[in-house]
Amino acid sequence: MWKQIRDREAAKIRPDSFANRIKSNRIAQLQLSNYKDIATPHKGAINSLQIDLTEGRYLLSAASDASVAVYDVQRATDYDAGGLISRHKCIFVVDKQHELGHKYSISSAIWYPVDTGLFVTGSYDHHINVWDTNTTQVVMNFKMPGKVYRTAMSSLATSHMLIAAGTEDVQVRLCDIASGAFAHTLSGHRDGVMTAEWSTSSEWVLITGGCDGAIRFWDIRRAGCFLVLDQSRTQLGTRPPILKRSMMTKETKSRAAQRKLANGSGSKHSPIGRVPAKGHAKQRLHPGLLSSQDRATAHYGAVTGLKITEDSMYLLSAGSDSRLRLWDIESGCDTLVNFETLRLQSSKPIQLATTPDSAFVFVPCMRSVKVFDMWSGNTRTTFRGHYECVNSCWFSVDDQELYTGGNDRQILVWSPARLITDELNEGPAEDQDNWSN
Amino acid sequence: MAMEDEARVQGNKARALIEKATNSTAPEVDPRLLKAIKSVVRYSDSELRVAAQTLMDFMKRDHSQVRYLSLLIIDELFMRSKLFRSLVVENLDQLLSLSIGFRRNLPLPAPPAVATNLRSKAIEFLEKWNVSFGVYYRQIRLGYDYLKNTLRLQFPNIQANSARIQQERRERERRSKEILLNKYEYLKENLSSIKGEIELTVGEIGECLDILRSKDELISDDILDEEEREEFRSFELKQLRHDALKEGEKVHENNDNKVVFDALRELYKLLVTRHLVSIQEWISVLIRIETVDTTFRDSTLKELIDIQNDLKSVKKKCEEAGCSLTNKPKHDEEEDFWEEGNAVSIETTTSSAPNNNNGNLDVASASHKVNDPTHGSSCKKSIGSAHEDKEVQSNSPRSKLLAEAPVVKWGTYLDDWGSNRVFMANQRGLELENHWGRVDIDAVIPSDKIAELNVQATIYEEKKIEIQPCRAPLRNGALCQRRDLKICPFHGPIVPRDDDGKPLNQTPSEDNMNIDLGTDDLVRQLAKQAVKNIREEDNRLARQRQIDKQELKRAKLAKIREHNEAVLRDAALASTSRSATLGEDTEGTDAEKRSSRDKEQNLSSMLRKKVTSKDRIAQKLLNSRVTDATIRQHVSSQEAKYKEAFPNQW
């Protein structure tokens, strides 16, 4: 640590690499934080957590008792035990008492990516509400055809304000905040859609995972999905071997050419064992919708969680088959990283988190949170602290802290160990051995 | 490698100790083993790690007792070692689910009694840990919070309870202080009136005493004059005279000064029951009070103490004047007095019948007479002093004799007790002459004949003996409370046992002997009792005859004893399943069996289900033979019913 500082002083290492080293060091030290308590007002399981993307300061939590709360994670409201423990109480809470509040469990709550003035909640009472943070009033309301599992907004979007909503319904709907109407309905899934995630590289690309086990990539400017992930298409390692790669690139090139002709379609991914009689009907369909015929699955059972890496090259998916798969988005192949045995909650969507350098992935595994090395799949640590199933993880990039929420109504903070325990003399006596004689 | 090996060896030590400590059925960890574990673990971190791991392993055992003992050890180490805490806290949720069993899919294992114990203990420990270390470990706070607020388990809430008790005590103290302060204020205001009242009483008493003394002087002067004429040379005599004079100075109540005495007594009573008590109270108030203004307190205290001393002296004077407090209700006094009189009269009747061959009694009566003047001096003698009198006498020879003396039934013969009077046979107020011819008027019945006639027959009453309970140890730890004369049908012959129910005599043969001796003893005692009684009765019978009789009786009793023993033996045979001869050695084998059972009681035996009476009944009723028989019976009865209902269908 001190050596790094000296190197930085001597300008031997660049500022960003210095920062990254410090950060990765801190991430490696994550443990249950003793000095940061988040006092939840929720009376039910916590389904979703998000820290705002602009300031990295306000934590939004949604719970199954139809309440949403916002906390300031940087400034504590009060202190316990002589200043040792900082307690973060919620700034405000919206619950059933609110006249326009949700009636049933809120499955997802997200910040408006541009500022903290708005947030969006999706609930099992079939509604998506858009709230004004300052007045805690509903400014917009979308009625969905079924329970809302997941809402997502693109953090890159500059030309649209769409909320992608995964619901019980087979269609993925895009709700436009600007107009207050459904902009698109994306159909292709054969069952409800549990998760939805916007690409981190393109504002038009949406990824959805359904209860049918399929993961579909949508370009919202075009009809139909352009990629369906298939668990049988695999590649060894994170990048295809060079030989294959050249082949692949060729293929993709040709594919791109083909796409130009066929106005973009996923039909070429269709498995060989397709019934030939259907070929005729396929021709009749709109070429963009041909992909809806593709029944390839990414998981056996439902896809419960999706997480795209920061560089938008890889996709992590969790399924109710208790598998975690790492996909190469470019090739659409499973990279066959074996994430060590784990058991995942299958009834609810789960929220995964990755570190910004994509080194680790945090996965809620029943009562614990496991930290996997993304590229080898080895378990790095297991965070135990929750007494019931964990539903969501959120990694705060600025503070290198992990927030987890579970069915035991707790939001736990996992933070790097404090380097300097400041004001020790002020706090209570230090924890010590206490042997008699 | 060597280091690792060493660590493993060391670890084995901790592991072995823990294994030994948890392999027990006791409700506590053996303190010696616990101490050993602590000392092993204290000086070596690797040992501590091994111990933590081992304890967690033991917590997973499918036996509540093992988990319970492990939990106790965990608590001991947890309260002491920081490293251990940090190790345990990592897996706190697992530890809690294993010890409290709050997960539905992981209930606590058998035996259920220990499991409930384990649960309550674990909850208690968690609370304790939370209080002491919750600040340092988020996990503990989380666990506590989860169990308390989500699962809503009942915590004993030790801290809050103690705080509440403290609060209550403080409240009480405050209230008593307030009361004290109020009293103090009252005293401040009313001190002069209190003093005035007391002074008034004291003054009145003084007046009364003055009156009495003035009357006194007239009499005593007389006496003095009279006595001065005589001469006393020796010092002793002078002393005696002085005492007598003093005694004479005491004014006795008579018709003249009765009113004064009454008034004095009244005032005295007031003084003792009210003023003295109140002064005492005020003094205690002043002592206890805490005020800023100490001058008033000190001066008042001084004053009060002076008053108290004053009052005491006045009281003494009153007592000297012959006034003692009799604050008991009147009828009570009478009753007591009557009793007293009765006792005296009895004593006099018994003692005023001097017997030739009963010199002791004479002595007693003499001593009694010596005491008499003080004893029955006046009717005003207070009860208290009478009691004192009795106490003083309690170790005099008379009382000893009284204790020994036989209790005799009351009868007319007591009138002539011990008298050697002869009775005129024909002077009974009956005119017999004319009817039956000449009568010798001077005919006498000699005293020995009278004595013979007055011989009292008493019925021998057997002393009631409480039958001792058997007191053999039962399986539930209690003692058998059956009261059988000789042999308990469940535990054999009744022998003296200590508090644990172990027989006091070890060997069975001795035991048996003891029983015989016991019966022997008992019978002899009976005999003695009887003989004693009879001897007292036949006091006047000739020695020789008495001895003869005694011997005869003894022989008879011996015979009875033998008979009794035979009967008892038969009874024992009848009442126990074992024969008496077998019973001799059953005690030993029984004890052995029990001890072997104790030894056998280990962890696996705790899991074994107890065979209850219900089980036994079920075994009897639900075996196939019985069920078959029942079914057969049922079928046949139904058939019979059917035939009855439809007699012409067949």
- Residues A2-26 have pLDDT tens digits of 888 888 888 888 888 888 888 888 8
Ranges A97-106, A357-366, B60-69, B359-368: which has the least confidence: B359-368
Alpha carbons B594 and B576: distance in angstroms, whole number: 20
Alpha carbons B409 and A263: distance in angstroms, whole number: 136
Tell me the three state secondary structure of residue A93.
strand
Alpha carbons B247 and B229: distance in angstroms, whole number: 19
SS (H, E, C) B491-516: CEECCCECCCCCECCCCHHHHHHHHH
Token pair of B497 as six digits: 């046992």
What's the mean pLDDT in A255-262? 45
The model's confidence at residue A289, banded by pLDDT at 50, 70 and 90, is low
Sign of CA dihedral B397, B400, B404, B407: positive
Chains A, B: CB contacts under 8 A, how many? 53
Ranges B39-48, B175-184, B576-585: which has the least confidence: B576-585
pLDDT number for residue A215: 92
Interface contact flag, A435 B82, Cβ < 8 Å: no
What is each CA distance from A293 to A189, A227, A283, A394, B103, in whole angstroms? 10, 12, 12, 35, 45
Task: Give bridge partners of residue A412 from the DSSP assignment.
Answer: A404
A72 within 8 A of A57, measured Cβ to Cβ: yes
What's the mean pLDDT in A313-338? 88
For residue B252, the tally of other CB atoms under 10 A from its CB is 11
Give the ipTM of the model, two decimals please.
Answer: 0.79
Tell me the three state secondary structure of residue B536.
helix
Give chain A's mean pLDDT: 82
Alpha carbons A188 and A194: distance in angstroms, whole number: 14
pLDDT number for residue B636: 93
Interface contact flag, B146 A432, Cβ < 8 Å: no
Alpha carbons A139 and A121: distance in angstroms, whole number: 12
Q: Tell me: pLDDT of B235 over 70.
A: no
Rg (chain B; Cα; Å): 44
Closest by CA position to B96, among listed B150, B143, B155: B143
pLDDT number for residue A7: 86
DSSP string for B161-175: HHHHHHHHHHHHHHH
Alpha carbons B627 and B624: distance in angstroms, whole number: 5
Alpha carbons B574 and B562: distance in angstroms, whole number: 18
Task: Report the gap between the CA of A379 and the closest CA in chain B (Å).
Answer: 17
Alpha carbons B190 and B4: distance in angstroms, whole number: 87
Structure letter (DSSP) for residue B361: H
Task: Report the gap between the CA of A366 and the closest CA in chain B (Å).
Answer: 13
Interface contact flag, A384 B91, Cβ < 8 Å: yes
Per-residue pLDDT of A295-309, as tens digits, reads: 888 889 899 999 999
Token pair of B503 as six digits: 């027989």
Closest by CA position to B383, among listed B320, B346, B334, B321: B334
Q: Tell me: pLDDT of B461 over 60.
A: yes
pLDDT number for residue B325: 52
Closest by CA position to B198, among listed B311, B71, B57, B75: B311
B90 within 8 A of B111, measured Cβ to Cβ: no
Interface contact flag, B146 A387, Cβ < 8 Å: yes
Amino acid at B631: I
Name the H helices within B45-151. Answer: 45-59, 64-78, 82-90, 92-100, 112-133, 138-145
Interface contact flag, B80 A81, Cβ < 8 Å: no
Per-residue pLDDT of B8-21, as tens digits, reads: 565 678 888 888 88
Task: Report the gap between the CA of B154 and the closest CA in chain A (Å).
Answer: 18
Interface contact flag, B146 A433, Cβ < 8 Å: no
Alpha carbons A193 and A171: distance in angstroms, whole number: 8
> Residue B111: is the preceding peptide bond cis (ω within 30°)?
yes
Kindly give the pairing relationship between strand A36-39 and strand A85-94. Answer: parallel
Token pair of B75 as six digits: 């608590």
What's the mean pLDDT in B531-546? 72
Token pair of B491 as six digits: 């535990």
A362 within 8 A of A390, measured Cβ to Cβ: no
What's the mean pLDDT in A216-245? 77
A266 vs A237, which has greater pLDDT?
A: A237
What is the chain A residue with the closest CA to B150? Answer: A408
The model's confidence at residue B245, banded by pLDDT at 50, 70 and 90, is low
Alpha carbons B142 and B130: distance in angstroms, whole number: 9
pLDDT number for residue B391: 46
What is the chain B residue with the closest CA to A35? Answer: B138
Structure letter (DSSP) for residue A74: S
B108 within 8 A of B64, measured Cβ to Cβ: yes
Q: Tell me: pLDDT of B634 over 90.
A: yes
Chain B residues touching residue A436 (CB < 8 angstroms): 80
The model's confidence at residue B383, banded by pLDDT at 50, 70 and 90, is very low
A186 within 8 A of A218, measured Cβ to Cβ: yes
What is each CA distance from A229 to A294, A313, A423, B150, in whole angstroms? 10, 14, 54, 41
Q: What are the structural domains of chain A? A: 33-240+286-424 (2.130.10.10)
Interface contact flag, B142 A410, Cβ < 8 Å: yes
| Ranges A237-246, B175-184, B420-429, most confident | B175-184
Amino acid at B619: Q
B431 within 8 A of B438, measured Cβ to Cβ: no
B286 vs A402, which has greater pLDDT?
A: A402
Q: Tell me: pLDDT of A70 over 90.
A: yes
Ranges A189-203, A364-378, B474-488, B595-609: which has the least confidence: B595-609
Closest by CA position to A175, among listed A202, A213, A217, A145: A145
- Quick one: residue A66, left, alpha or beta (phi over 0 = left, psi -120 to 50 = alpha)? left
Tell me the three state secondary structure of residue A379.
strand
How many residues are recorded in chain A? 437
The model's confidence at residue B135, banded by pLDDT at 50, 70 and 90, is confident
How many residues are recorded in chain B? 650
- What's the first-to-final CA gap in chain B, in angstroms? 95
Q: Tell me: pLDDT of B41 over 60.
A: yes
DSSP string for A83-145: TTEEEEEEEEEE-TTSTT--SS-EEEEEE-SS-TTEEEEEETTSEEEEEETTTTEEEEEEE-S
**Number of alpha carbons in the 13 Å side-chain half-sphere of residue B497:** 21
Chain A residues touching residue B35 (CB < 8 angstroms): none
Angle between the B45-59 and B92-100 helix axes, to the nearest 10 degrees? 40
Q: Which of B39, B93, B139 is the best substitution to test chain A (most A C-beta atoms within 10 A)?
A: B93
Interface contact flag, A37 B138, Cβ < 8 Å: yes
Place of tokens 């990039």: A397
What's the mean pLDDT in B378-386? 42
Ranges B257-266, B284-293, B422-431: which has the least confidence: B422-431
Structure letter (DSSP) for residue B252: P
The model's confidence at residue B387, banded by pLDDT at 50, 70 and 90, is very low
Of A33, A385, A434, the CB nearest to B79: A434
Tell me how many degrees the CA angle A248-A249-A250 measures, rounded to the nearest 5.
90
Token pair of B131 as six digits: 């209080």
Task: Report the gap between the CA of B81 and the closest CA in chain A (Å).
Answer: 5
Task: Give bridge partners of residue B503 from the DSSP assignment.
Answer: B497
B58 within 8 A of B23, measured Cβ to Cβ: no
Alpha carbons B373 and A274: distance in angstroms, whole number: 138
Alpha carbons A66 and A382: distance in angstroms, whole number: 30
B412 vs B354, which has greater pLDDT?
A: B412
Interface contact flag, A436 B81, Cβ < 8 Å: no
Closest by CA position to A144, among listed A162, A123, A117: A123
Interface contact flag, A433 B38, Cβ < 8 Å: no
For residue A403, the tally of other CB atoms under 10 A from its CB is 28
Amino acid at A57: R
B291 vs A364, which has greater pLDDT?
A: A364
pLDDT number for residue B7: 52
Tell me the three state secondary structure of residue B205.
helix
Return all residues near A322 (Cβ < 8 A) that are at least 6 apart.
Answer: A342, A343, A344, A346
What is each CA distance from B403 to B364, B426, B634, in whole angstroms? 12, 40, 78
- Give Dmax over CA atoms of chain A in angstroms: 90
Per-residue pLDDT of B307-361, as tens digits, reads: 888 888 888 877 777 666 554 333 433 333 444 334 444 444 444 444 444 444 4
Q: Tell me: pLDDT of B82 over 70.
A: yes
Closest by CA position to A371, among listed A380, A350, B471: A380
**Number of alpha carbons in the 13 Å side-chain half-sphere of residue B11:** 15
